[in-house]
Amino acid sequence: MRSVALTAALMMVCATLLMAGTTLLAKALGSGAMGQSLHPLMVAQGRFVFGFAAVIVMLGAIKASGRAAWPAHSARPNYLLHATRTLLGWSAGGMMFAAAAQMPLADANALAFTAPVATMLFAIPLLGERPGRWRWLAAGLAMTGVFVLLRSGDGVIQPAALLALGAAAAMGLEGIAIKRLAVSEPTNRTMLINNAMGAVLSSGVALSVLVWPQSSGHWLALIGIGVMMVLVQILNLRANRIADASFVAPFFYLTLVWAALYDLVFFDVWPDWISLTGASIIVAGGLVMTWREVHTQRLRARRV
């Protein structure tokens, strides 16, 4: 049991390192830290194109091992729902990469962590869910942290913060689509379709701002973002498969720690008391929401 818990913990630590790493690379590419500045739409294109390539390699390895990538009797893909999920994921990625290039990485990631609140709110009209008082408390805590991070007391709300919130809203809606796909679609096939559609969509949109990367470093950064995003998905899924959600979920907030360290090491950006306070409040709200979700699932399991 201890070895399983340790394995799940290590998977989540690696996943959060990689997740924060994607925003680090996006900031380096978008801020001109690597010389040439790339548009966020090009960074989003790299995420999906190279993510799709990584999924192809993964599925090829599965096939070479003699295993099936997904059950042969799986239902026909819901392409409309896949397309909706892909559009939302692409929108979230583009806004998040743009925000990361303009503000501290820890702040951008903290604001994006309000996505579960958005999912909860969207689930009310779309899924007919009725959140209880504990979820509303968690949502209230998270949004309090948002108002702190928006730094409205300075008289100006940073546009990049609004982009991060827009990314959270898109991820919240994407969460609804993922919930619906999870009950009917194999995970590997969902990853293949999502990244394939994303590659086509992002490439078409990026044509308007396309500038050929000038150095191998730019190419490696774009490849790294795509591969790391796929690895994050795989590690997160496997960790949740072998350990309880109540154990796994809190590790995800390590992303904020790594993002702050990356900012400090690579951009000499120190988190101020506003960043620390706002992020802490958002994390508190997220932990309350996670605890309540796990508690509700256990009650349902006992009744069954």
Q: What is the pLDDT of residues 1-16, one digit of tens each?
A: 567 888 988 999 999 9
Classify 39 as helix, strand or coil.
Answer: coil
Q: What is the DSSP string of 192-206?
A: HHHHHHHHHHHHHHH
Question: Structure pTM?
Answer: 0.87
Q: What is the largest CA-CA distance in the chain?
A: 61
Q: What distance in Å separates the CA atoms of residue 202 and residue 6, rounded to the nearest whole number?
A: 37
Q: Is the pLDDT of residue 245 over 70?
A: no
Length of the chain: 304
With the CA atoms of 227, 243, 135 and 166 taken in that order, what torsion angle do they form, in degrees rounded to the nearest 10?
Answer: 0
User: Token digits for 157?
Assistant: 């709300």
Supply angle C-alpha 17, 107, 258, rounded to 5: 20
User: Token digits for 238?
Assistant: 């496997």
From 1-15, 72-86, 189-203, 237-251, the region with the lowest mean pLDDT: 237-251
Q: Which amino acid is at 219?
A: W
Cβ–Cβ under 8 Å, residues 47 and 221:
no
